[in-house]
Structure 1
Amino acid sequence: MLCPRSVTTFSNVLPCAVILFVAFVSSTTARQGVDKGDPSDGSDVAIDQPLTEATDWFLTEQEITDSRGGAPRDGLSVYTEGNAITSFTVPNEFFNSVYDDLSVVGDGQRVLITAYESALIPFKPDVDVSGATTGYQNVFAGIVERGGQVNILSWANLLERSSVEVRNVINSLPPSPVNDARALFIFDDRLSTISSSHHQKTIVIAATSSSGHDDHPVAYVGGIDLTKDRWDNIYHNSSTLRDAGGITKDFKGWIDGHIRIHGPAAKDVANNHLSRWNSDYMPTRGLEDDMLSFNNPPYYKLDPLDYASSTNKSTLGKQSVQIVRTFSCKYEHYTEFAPHGETSLLQARIKAIQNARNYIYIEDQYFILVPELLDALLMVMPRLQHVIVVAQAPVGDAAYSGYEKYLHDMVSPLKKKYPNKFKVYTTKRKLNLYIHSKIVIIDDVYLSIGSANWNRRSMTSDSELNANVVDQDTIKSPDGITVNKLARDFRIRKFHEMTGVSYDKLDAMTFLDAAAQFDVAAADDMSLLQILSAKTYLYHIVFLDSIRQQVDPQDTCNT
């Protein structure tokens, strides 16, 4: 191919395609400099009463079926009502609650876990740094000793060998002297490609049998794994303690979120685990699994839940919950539970964004290009006061594999058109904190939390599970509108963590006044935050779509 005359001066140094790319970027940058976009900072946008009913936000039964290639979703409710939810905006809150729940599990109960990664860490290093009482192995040994059953289903993660050590410890626990109950850890490699992952992060505590008219399991859903690096407090100042407890791996602190569900939605989380565990197509059947120590011991199918209570209603609390998932349509062995895959998680997110009236807060590990989500945001931006994103700056493997480019592809169209209403932040690099959250909050009404990142693989390819929550307990906000308590409380606690402004002060602020504290914090050398600039670089030209499909696959099928 011949270069245009204007760039042939450099043709003996750079390939023509690269020169053309430089010229394109330069001309595009020049055009962007002229197009200022919408100058609004949101203050000229009137606050609007948001939708507060769960049915406004949740997918219908038909929409769930459509997200599954026409296959109805059996075993999970469309949505559930009357759940009691406790939210955790920092990891130590989650670990404290998990320990408290697991430390009393015994005869007549079972624990079901889906895991991405596990490690033998203390759950409460602030009071038990050695893990003598709260260590992973001791917590689960105690469950079995008291007569509880444990079944852990973990991704066969080639990159993290700590799960093999956990498997060996769990599977070597002796049976219970009370009732012969056992703990069993198996690996799951049933995925569409070698680069895919089982990313669900759930814990369920259920009775083996219950006749109570309003008795329900407990489930944990969110982004936190029972593994290294995760434990941290809201001040992110416990690196010495993390080191002493063997928690530190790559970072000095961790930003994340999780919820605890007591109610019928926990049955949906349990049935997700059971359907994967009980599939007729068994995992780790290849020679490579044996060579990598992912071979599983003989195991048995698990009994279904045995509860007399309702599958979709309770009086335990006031939160409605819809469990949404991702399973790849390209994997042929999800026959029993997702024969054509499932993208209810993606479809629910699109619907929620389209419902936004005032603001969207996104806290995510990646926030890279998902075309459908970009389109949804661009559609609603004119009527919103603000969209705030707190995302991890691409580091390590993520930067080298193109995520820096894909972040730019997501951010640039929004920032170009709405430079003052669309704000993106990250943590200061010198702090060496890691943002691992998978959280979306809309209008102080809707909370989505779970395992799914803002990327194409989480929306279409990897196995994921999120809980979308709408609280029936409402309050008046300082903006003069009716909002829901749980979502607003979660948002204020996250704003407190990010900006350092007290909960009480943020609670008294309008949304725009609270949002303004992010810029204040980003300008303060002593705060967590800084502006995240999503830039484009010359080397991004090498990240062709074929490479993106490997690192961030988008699995789509015609059924």
Structure 2
Amino acid sequence: MADFEALKKKYFVQPDDTELPSEPLPATFGGCKVTPLIDGVEYFRDLAKQIAPLGAGTPSENSAQFIYITGWWLGFMGRPAVPGPPPIPARPPFSLDGAGATNHLVDVLKAKAHAGVDVRVMGWISFSGMADYGLLTTSVRGRIGIRDINLDTMASILGLRKELALVEKACLSIISHSAGASHTKMALVGDGSGSAIGYTGGLDLDNDRHGSQPHPPREWHDVQAKVEGPAVQALYDFYRSLWNENRARKIKSFRSVNEIVISHTPTTPPVPARTFPTTPVGGHHLQSLRTVPRFNYKSTNNLPENEKISFAPDGFFEVRSAWFNAVLTAERYVYIEDQGFWSVEVMAWLNRVIKLRADLKVILVKGINDPNDPPFPAYANIALWNGLLHDLNPQQRGRVRAFLRNVFVHSKTTIVDDHWAIIGSANAYRRSLYSDIEHAVGLLDEEDKLVRQYRVRLWSDHLGLLDPADQQKIADIDKALNVWDGNWGTPGSGVTLPPTLAPIPLPTIETTLDSSQQDRYDRYDDVDSRLPWGGCLP
């Protein structure tokens, strides 16, 4: 067994690694249990199991229970059909039990709130892109490209507010950067016993996300982390900070399809402070990682601006510091599963560690293009070339492989050396490091089993290994690496790459953007909140 104290010192952010105030030491906990939930069906089933028994006790018992949710996209109400051509079919209301199931989450939450459970839902809306329908903000909105997603979220909040107990507790989050988002996808469930369970990761509460292995083409693949034990305190405190920051802001109004929706009410209650038990429930250790943007505007800006977030006026870039630290300590492999790979900085970390470690392997996995993303594949080519490949020699380039799966890979996860992993909402984008509101967890295990087991299950999903016995064929990391490239590791697993997982040719020349594309990238698609933002519209 590995020396755990040595692993913790190596892979976790340490006090000497911090750069105050924006990269403080992340909240760090032992005695936890973390369960990676792979794909939406697994996560939604677990969340439904935790929610189901709430609200069945006395009024006093029910009032001690809570369900807190925040998301980038809330699809609780579904969408009506849109006539063609081509016609777009109706999307049913969201249910944790599956697309088309009758147990709609909006009704479940209203029933729990009616029974006295403290239910709170906070869905992000672009305050700059969706304010009014003025000429200026229409132009901004067209570039940010989130109108339909924000309309779904507003409809979800309106649906919840039909329950009297939720009028003040179903809110729109308005505290993001002008060209950023509150991208955190988190749920917390307290059963009234004094403890709670937290979930954080990439999964939005929308019917698109009901995926499970084996995936048919164009289904969604994603990961959420279930957190139990002392670290739930950090997830709860972050949710509380976001909620209370939001309720302290001036109320903003937005136009839905048929009505005006206010962000929150003057009497929206604060989320109370709670102290959860520190009793160990397992041997997993966790760092709770946040991205909170700065608000740095050009002096000539004529675009909508937002105020600094009071609990992080200089921003928090903990996701960046933890990710950077772990990648730079890698010795055997770095595996990143993401939807974009736009960040030159993240790719530069890989470039640096490939040069430092003569045998280190890098595996990048993405899926077909997310229909909610802007169609700019050039961003990835720029990051891969300028950040990762441009000065590597042939031997070093031979240790980098990228693959495309025939599903929407929406997960945001990195695994290093079978020791450390990160699961959260933060993509390999510049905006996830510096501009969107994000949350992730960095993981280690005293027995050094958790991350290897997670890697085996995650890779088995991609490699089509459904049977647990077949999954053990890739438990040995050398045999597993050989599956990705026959020149790596040790043959003998008996596993081959399925046709659903195709190698991606890596760029061999530099890609450039014209001035209009570069402006869109810097101002809307992949913003860096450390830099002045705004100016006149082109």
Aligned to 2:32: 83
Aligned to 2:350: 377
1:504 Cα shift?
3.1
Aligned to 2:361: 386
SS, match of residue 479 in structure 2? helix
1:123 Cα shift?
1.3
SS, match of residue 269 in structure 1? helix
1:145 Cα shift?
3.8
1:119 Cα shift?
1.1
Aligned to 2:161: 171
CA deviation profile, 1:413-463 (whole Å, cap 9, x unmatched)? 3876523211100113xxxx2110100011111110000000100000111
- The answer to whether the aligner puts 1:348 opposite 2:325 as a matched pair is no
State how far apart, in whole Å, the 2-side matches of 1:526 and 1:350 are: 31
Aligned to 1:197: 181
Aligned to 2:287: 322
1:259 Cα shift?
1.1
When residues 285 and 217 of structure 1 are mapped into structure 2, their CA distance, relative to the original with a 3 A threshold, is same
- The answer to whether the aligner puts 1:267 opposite 2:233 as a matched pair is yes
When residues 49 and 356 of structure 1 are mapped into structure 2, their CA distance, relative to the original with a 3 A threshold, is farther
Residue type at the aligned position of 1:448: I
- Give matches, 1:73-152, under 5 Å: 78-106=27-55, 107=62, 108-120=64-76, 121-125=94-98, 130-133=100-103, 135-152=104-121
When residues 526 and 318 of structure 1 are mapped into structure 2, their CA distance, relative to the original with a 3 A threshold, is closer
Alignment TM-score, normalising by the size of structure 1 = 0.74
Alignment TM-score, normalising by the size of structure 2 = 0.77
Aligned to 1:184: 169
**Does the CA-based 8 Å contact 1:394-1:404 persist in structure 2?**
no
State how far apart, in whole Å, the 1-side matches of 2:214 and 2:3 are: 34
State how far apart, in whole Å, the 2-side matches of 1:440 and 1:538 are: 26
Residue type at the aligned position of 1:187: L
1:425 to 400, 403, 406: 403
State how far apart, in whole Å, the 1-side matches of 2:154 and 2:253 are: 17
2:199 to 195, 211, 220: 220
Aligned to 1:35: none
Aligned residues: 459
**Does the CA-based 8 Å contact 1:204-1:219 persist in structure 2?**
yes
State how far apart, in whole Å, the 2-side matches of 1:53 and 1:492 are: 20
1:406 Cα shift?
3.6
Aligned to 1:481: none
Residue type at the aligned position of 2:272: P
Residue type at the aligned position of 1:301: P
Q: Percent identity?
A: 19
Q: Which moved more, 1:334-343 or 1:139-148?
A: 139-148
1:141 Cα shift?
2.5
**Does the CA-based 8 Å contact 1:277-1:302 persist in structure 2?**
yes
1:394 Cα shift?
4.5
- Give matches, 1:16-35, under 5 Å: none
State how far apart, in whole Å, the 2-side matches of 1:59 and 1:526 are: 37
When residues 416 and 228 of structure 1 are mapped into structure 2, their CA distance, relative to the original with a 3 A threshold, is farther
SS, match of residue 167 in structure 1? helix
1:398 Cα shift?
2.8
Aligned to 2:501: 529
1:114 Cα shift?
1.6
When residues 543 and 146 of structure 1 are mapped into structure 2, their CA distance, relative to the original with a 3 A threshold, is same
1:68 Cα shift?
1.7
- Give matches, 1:350-499, under 5 Å: 350-371=324-345, 373-382=346-355, 383=357, 384-394=359-369, 397-400=373-376, 402-409=378-385, 410=387, 412-413=389-390, 417=394, 418-428=396-406, 433-473=407-447, 484-499=448-463
State how far apart, in whole Å, the 1-side matches of 2:330 and 2:511 are: 36
State how far apart, in whole Å, the 2-side matches of 1:316 and 1:452 are: 27
Residue type at the aligned position of 1:424: A
Q: Which runs of 5+ in 1 are unaligned?
A: 1-47, 176-180, 238-250, 474-483
Aligned to 1:16: none
- Give matches, 1:498-509, under 5 Å: 498-501=462-465, 503-509=468-474
State how far apart, in whole Å, the 2-side matches of 1:319 and 1:309 are: 16
When residues 64 and 50 of structure 1 are mapped into structure 2, their CA distance, relative to the original with a 3 A threshold, is same
State how far apart, in whole Å, the 1-side matches of 2:364 and 2:71 are: 27
1:508 Cα shift?
4.4
SS, match of residue 49 in structure 2? helix
1:60 Cα shift?
3.0
State how far apart, in whole Å, the 2-side matches of 1:230 and 1:336 are: 33
**Does the CA-based 8 Å contact 1:361-1:388 persist in structure 2?**
yes
1:163 Cα shift?
1.1
State how far apart, in whole Å, the 2-side matches of 1:547 and 1:93 are: 37
Q: Which moved more, 1:380-389 or 1:109-118?
A: 380-389
RMSD (CA atoms): 3.2
When residues 537 and 398 of structure 1 are mapped into structure 2, their CA distance, relative to the original with a 3 A threshold, is farther
